[in-house]
Structure 1
Amino acid sequence: MKPAVVIVGRPNVGKSTLFNRITRTRDALVDDTPGVTRDRKYGDASWNGMNFIVVDTGGFMSGDEDRFSEKIHSQVRRAVAEADALVLVLDGRTGLSPFDTELMEFTRDVSCPVFYVVNKIDAPEREADMAEFYTLGLEKLYPVSAAHGYGVGSFLDDLVEMLPRCEEDESFPDAVRIAVVGRPNVGKSTFVNRVLGEERMIVSDVPGTTRDSLDSLCEINGRSYLLVDTAGLRRKGRVSHRLEKFSAVKTLRSLDRCDIALIMIDAVEGITEQDITIAGYAFDRGCGCIFLVNKWDLAKDMGARAESYYQSIRDSARFLNFAPVVIISAATGLRVKKTFDVADEVYSQYRFTIKTGELNNIIERAVRAKQPPLYRGRRLKFNYATQISSGPPTFVCFVNFPGGVHFSYHRYLVNAIRRETGLDKTPLRLFFREKTGRIDFGPKRRGPKRSKRR
């Protein structure tokens, strides 16, 4: 389970630049215009062996006339509530602002560690510009330049030391771990309650590795399943709020711990952009995926056709064209049991392994059937392939020019592996590495010297 680090600050202090620096991506939009980051942005990061989630929030200002400000403030507060550590970014170029003092008051009530970063300090001589920030009564300030990397390493060293070390739960190693994810009110709670309320199922509650987390162990047809992070789903009917709040951090944590993600979609409302975003989270983490089109009892009465949903999902989530689609009604129990039959198929492929010789034969036949394009006038040579892990099946192919493999040929080789192994319901990962040449295992043996003929 990955801890979450949330970045907050007033507009245009460099939060998104810091997010990009920590995650080593350019996912967050960076612009000089305040308020570019409307929503929260999530990314994965790693430092000194610690993996964690980074959350980039919108600029926080009270009295902001921006029509999105109320939504941004709500997003920030929700992200802070989910944080394991908070990073407050200050602007070392423009100096202290009254809004910084307001943010200080906002962060005093949080229970997690807070790190105060003064951005835009790109050299040691610029650290003198931080003097006025000490009037806030802070013991530790981190001078950094998110744009150039100055001071970021030292800051991250201290950050990861304060993050919680949560050991992965190794209980029930034979159980298939399943996460039910989706936007609010698509029927996740109803589905979980239907599954755990069925007869002939053994049910128990298992403490999860996340805060406020509860896993539910059940047995269906002789196989054990662990529904991860079901706290708040099973007893949703007991809470006073009828509308469930979407928590992306909680979704990411659930996906980090599961083998298979059940991505639930509301059949009445149809597939939405948020559905695709959640599906993207699952795809990025290499989860086995199943789309559940729920509330079919209501959609069918409205004249809905199953074929249109299949096609809509395939068109909207082409990156998950391998994921099965099951049309269900959690309220009536329609095809709920079938979901686990499909999950068994996906899990079997998800844990698939292949012998190295068989894999190389597949690659060889594929290359012989369709030669790769030239790269800078030279032919690509695929020397050797091997499987390095399962869950999902992950392969490495050694090639003379890894950067020269076009994405279309990469897709062609993945499809060749799928076709010959029958892996049509699981994600596959294929990486290319450069062949480093002959491996020297020791001194070369030399044969006996031959006498020269005179």
Structure 2
Amino acid sequence: MARPVVAIVGRPNVGKSTLFNALAGERISIVKDTPGVTRDRIYADVSWLNYDFTMIDTGGIEPDSKDIILSQMREQAQIAIDTADVIIFLVDVKQGLQDSDSKVADMLRRSHKPVILVVNKVDSFERDMADVYEFYNLGIGDPVPVSASSRLGFGDMLDKVVEYFPEQSGEEEEDDTPKIAVIGKPNVGKSSLINKLCGEERVIVSDIAGTTRDAVDTRVRYNHKDYIFIDTAGLRRKSKIKEDLERYSIVRAVASVEKADVVIIMIDATEGVTEQDAKIAGIAHERGKGIIICVNKWDAIEKNDKTMKEHETKIRQILSFMPYASILFISVKSGQRLGKIYETIDAVIENNSMRIATGVLNEIVSEAVALQQPPTDKGKRLKIFYTTQVAVKPPTFVIFVNEKYLMHFSYVRYLENRIRDAFGFEGTSLKFIIRERKENE
């Protein structure tokens, strides 16, 4: 089930980042063991009651001129409208209702997406309520008073947000057609690839709520199997600012990765892997998706017999946090190796959902432990009691040990490599959970 996406939109200094950080809590810290995954705090996972969702901060606007503020707010609102299932529109009780708030409210109203109007900096619900009521004039529903800095009113706000989430069970669960997202920097050829892969058989999946009006999921039949390609709309208007453009494509990537089983990361062969490619790849890796790296425009590269190997080594070096990813060198223009993409998608889906019997798994782990002794600390040695697989998509393993602190990251990586040697798992990350158990339990 894809996590719903919630976006925060608002003028400068209304407290978007404060709200974002307060909701994201400690969860936002970057996973320490993945070199290469740096990221701005653009998105975070949030849990409320039994709901999990992804929150996106659409970015700060800091210019002085009123016109620039409004045009950038429109752009922010557009990102939110395109990618989010629910939008939090944040306003400031201290600054009161502003002209630009009304203009953005019009845009949000026309989007027909659920919008929660949240009035921030309400330090005293008794004293400030008269000022909160002023925001009824925006005509987008009841204002919800909060104080992001004191974390007041979050319960009421989140209750309203989750009301709009799709039912956790139901039709979506039944459609187990593999969903494939194609992500990458602007202009790398994402739409052209989807068009080529869909060939003449473009069947537009109905305009499901949550799909943007200019990005349509496409169902394709290839070799008697169905696939759904998640198409993220490109930038509607060319932004001149590189940071805006990058932030926009990262926000877009987060939204499509959430819905996908397999993520195709497109890279331009003539440019090699850029820092932004690494950020976008990091999102798919963190989410435990099946991953295929497609190096496009391969026909534009001068080659000898070593070229492919050299390119692959360079890609693996920069994307060192995902050594398991499959790499394909393709040309959308000439159609080179496009047939191989479906084969690779099938293999990656199979690996991402593979289950290993506990007995076989423990044999592999015992063998690995015999070959390389587990670490010790002050005379105490790590003991591994047993290992079991608890989930798929991605394959997730629990390892029961005597002392958690003895299980170094490098030893987990060693066990992962042995498991991969035995079962393949190409194209999918593996997740390990370390649990402590006393010896006599």
| TMscore range, shorter length | 0.7 to 0.9
Normalised to the residue count of structure 2, the TM-score between the two structures is 0.79
Query: Whole-Å Cα distance in 1 between the matches of residues 135 and 346 of structure 2?
Result: 57
Query: Whole-Å Cα distance in 2 between the matches of residues 43 and 273 of structure 1?
Result: 20
Residue 177 of structure 1 corresponds to: 179
The Cα of 1:294 is off from its aligned counterpart by: 0.6
**In 2 relative to 1, CA 39–354 (structure 1 residues): closer, same or farther, beyond 3 Å?**
closer
**In 2 relative to 1, CA 352–85 (structure 1 residues): closer, same or farther, beyond 3 Å?**
closer
Is the contact between residue 96 and residue 132 of structure 1 (CA under 8 Å) also seen in structure 2? no
Paired residue secondary structure (1:388)? strand
**In 2 relative to 1, CA 131–321 (structure 1 residues): closer, same or farther, beyond 3 Å?**
same
Of the candidates 141, 158, 162, which is equivalent to residue 160 of structure 1?
162
Query: Whole-Å Cα distance in 2 between the matches of residues 75 and 21 of structure 1?
Result: 24
Is the contact between residue 392 and residue 427 of structure 1 (CA under 8 Å) also seen in structure 2? yes
Query: Whole-Å Cα distance in 2 between the matches of residues 377 and 96 of structure 1?
Result: 63
Normalised to the residue count of structure 1, the TM-score between the two structures is 0.77
Residue 101 of structure 2 corresponds to: 103
Is the contact between residue 96 and residue 133 of structure 1 (CA under 8 Å) also seen in structure 2? no
Matches within 5 A, 1:10-409: 10-25=11-26, 27=28, 41-60=42-61, 63-64=64-65, 73=73, 75-82=75-82, 83-90=84-91, 95-96=94-95, 100=98, 102-111=100-109, 112-119=114-121, 121=123, 128-129=127-128, 131-137=130-136, 140-165=142-167, 167=170, 169-170=172-173, 173=176, 175-197=177-199, 204-207=203-206, 209=208, 210-212=210-212, 214-220=216-222, 222-230=223-231, 247-300=249-302, 305-374=307-376, 378-409=380-411
**In 2 relative to 1, CA 108–214 (structure 1 residues): closer, same or farther, beyond 3 Å?**
closer
Query: Whole-Å Cα distance in 1 between the matches of residues 70 and 272 of structure 2?
Result: 28
Greater shift in the superposed pair: 45-54 or 100-109: 100-109
The Cα of 1:41 is off from its aligned counterpart by: 0.9
Query: Whole-Å Cα distance in 2 between the matches of residues 406 and 433 of structure 1?
Result: 13
The Cα of 1:75 is off from its aligned counterpart by: 4.8
- The code of the aligned residue for 2:354 comes to F
Query: Whole-Å Cα distance in 2 between the matches of residues 119 and 404 of structure 1?
Result: 46
Paired residue secondary structure (1:325)? strand
Kindly provide the CA deviation profile for residues 251-306 of structure 1, in whole angstroms up to 9, marking residues without a partner as x: 33432232221111112232222211221121111111111111112233899933
Query: Whole-Å Cα distance in 2 between the matches of residues 145 and 384 of structure 1?
Result: 48
Equivalenced residue count is 414
Query: Whole-Å Cα distance in 1 between the matches of residues 156 and 233 of structure 2?
Result: 38
- The code of the aligned residue for 1:332 comes to S
Paired residue secondary structure (1:320)? coil
Query: Whole-Å Cα distance in 1 between the matches of residues 438 and 19 of structure 2?
Result: 35
Kindly provide the CA deviation profile for residues 22-75 of structure 1, in whole angstroms up to 9, marking residues without a partner as x: 23336499xxxxxxxx98812222323333221113334663499x97995465
- The code of the aligned residue for 2:127 comes to A
Identity %: 36
**In 2 relative to 1, CA 97–28 (structure 1 residues): closer, same or farther, beyond 3 Å?**
farther
Query: Whole-Å Cα distance in 2 between the matches of residues 39 and 187 of structure 1?
Result: 25
**In 2 relative to 1, CA 203–142 (structure 1 residues): closer, same or farther, beyond 3 Å?**
closer
Query: Whole-Å Cα distance in 1 between the matches of residues 204 and 143 of structure 2?
Result: 43
Residue 34 of structure 1 corresponds to: none
**In 2 relative to 1, CA 44–160 (structure 1 residues): closer, same or farther, beyond 3 Å?**
same
Superposed structure 1 runs of 4+ greater than 6 Å apart: 68-71, 301-304, 436-439
Provide the aligned C-alpha RMSD in A. Answer: 3.9
Is the contact between residue 178 and residue 261 of structure 2 (CA under 8 Å) also seen in structure 1? yes
- The code of the aligned residue for 1:289 comes to I
Query: Whole-Å Cα distance in 1 between the matches of residues 151 and 405 of structure 2?
Result: 27
**In 2 relative to 1, CA 377–12 (structure 1 residues): closer, same or farther, beyond 3 Å?**
farther
Is the contact between residue 118 and residue 130 of structure 1 (CA under 8 Å) also seen in structure 2? no
Q: Show structure 2 runs of 5+ residues with no match.
A: 31-38
Query: Whole-Å Cα distance in 2 between the matches of residues 240 and 180 of structure 1?
Result: 20
Query: Whole-Å Cα distance in 1 between the matches of residues 27 and 384 of structure 2?
Result: 31
Is the contact between residue 16 and residue 28 of structure 1 (CA under 8 Å) also seen in structure 2? no
Q: Show structure 1 runs of 5+ residues with no match.
A: 30-37, 440-454
Residue 5 of structure 2 corresponds to: 4
